[in-house]
Amino acid sequence: MSTSTTSTSTTSTGTTSTSTTTPDASPTSDVLDRYRRHTPLSDPGAHAPSLRALPAEPAALAAAVRGLVVHYVASGLTFTPERLADIDSRWVARMLERLAARDPAPLDRPREVDARVVGCCRDAALLYVAAARELGVPARSRVGFAPYLREGFAHDHVVAEHWDAAADGGGRWVRVDPQIDPAWVGVDTLDLGTGADSPFRTAAHVWLDHRAGRLSEAELAGFGVGPDLPLRGRWFVRNYVVAELAHLTGHELLLWDLWGAMVPPVVGPDGRLADVDAPPDPDLDALVDRVAEALVDPDVDPASLDALLDDPRLDPRRGVVCDSPSGLRAQVDLTSAG
């Protein structure tokens, strides 16, 4: 029997948000097996042994991952075009290939910044997920927003979840932010929780709060890439619900990948990002409502999520365009990591 739970959280602007979800029973063995298997993007290929050598303990694994990725913006460093191209590596196999070429030492050994892969939260999360899967632990990535990274704004973010069979007497999904050391912020990034009261706000939770009137369109401007960029607001949150669905169905794509009904950023005549004027689309909003309602259940059967991809507005397999901060804009071949 499922039971309804109501949780209250604080938005990036300090207002109160309440969401009600009705979780299903604990996931079946088939569901856990699904998330234990690699996807094409998480598959380490020939570098699988290097992942199997990583520690299985979540805190140690997260620490190891933090030593593999240097953030392309948050680090404050300037990278050559060749190094910046790392952010489009996409496949774990390709990231591991670059890491091995720069320093063949075991992945949990400290390495210099020049020996790391340039990336972002998505890459840290997917490396964590890939390592967990290689170690036999069901794992997946979640797309959303992290108000704990900056006061008054919820930055777009990707985190990981792994299945802890011993937790709470019957097992549960444990949400981890492998990019952020718990000592850096005022939250436990090794167990963020998976409900509406989690300090990490999934895109689905944010969207449903908006649709229920708990977050105004003006408040949604506090969710995005940054407060000084036009990559934020209602259209951006809706895009991220579509991205969250992709991640949970085995398509852990880059944050600057676009497909289906996703609204692209706008570049003005001066070459700078400009405000996006996304026209009303009630049909798309209703579709994203259905997606979000499925995603907020942490124990949702991925087969029901797969069925949502029958709609071409949601399916990345029909074609993805990479619109990267590196300057790359190209159609992506998702069939090969070569």
User: Which two tokens mark 189?
Assistant: 């990034």
User: Cβ of 181: how many Cβ atoms within 10 Å?
Assistant: 14
Q: How far apart are CA 126 and CA 170, in angstroms?
A: 26
**Residue 22: how many CB atoms within 10 A of its CB?**
11
The count of other CB atoms within 10 Å of the CB of residue 79 is 16
Ranges of each domain in the chain: 12-332
- Find the radius of gyration of the CA atoms of the chain: 19
Distance CA 51, CA 47 (A): 7
Residue 299 CB contacts under 8 Å (≥ 6 apart), including other chains? 23, 24, 25, 26, 27, 31, 173
pLDDT score at 335: 77
* Tens digit of pLDDT at every position of the chain (338 positions): 223 334 444 444 444 444 444 444 578 899 999 999 999 999 999 999 999 999 999 999 999 999 999 999 999 999 999 999 999 999 999 999 999 999 999 999 999 999 999 999 999 999 999 999 999 999 999 999 999 999 999 999 999 999 999 998 889 999 999 999 999 999 999 999 998 899 999 999 999 999 999 999 999 999 999 999 999 999 999 999 999 999 999 999 999 999 999 999 999 999 999 999 999 999 999 999 999 999 999 989 999 999 999 999 999 999 999 999 999 999 998 876 65
Q: How far apart are CA 253 and CA 203, in angstroms?
A: 15
Q: Which helix (H) or strand (E) holds 239?
A: helix 234-248
How far apart are alpha carbons 177 and 63 in whole angstroms? 10
Report angle CA 134, 30, 193 to the nearest 5 degrees: 70
Give bridge partners of residue 274 from the DSSP assignment: 266
- The pLDDT score that the predictor gives to residue 169 is 87
How many C-beta atoms surround the C-beta of residue 199 within 10 A?
Answer: 20
The alpha carbon dihedral of 248, 90, 77, 70 has a sign of positive
User: What 3-state DSSP class applies to 25?
Assistant: coil
Residue whose pair of structure tokens reads 């949970």 in the numeric block? 248
Q: DSSP strand E in the chain: where?
A: 5-10, 16-21, 69-71, 117-119, 139-146, 154-164, 172-176, 201-202, 223-224, 257-258, 266-267, 273-274, 320-323, 329-332
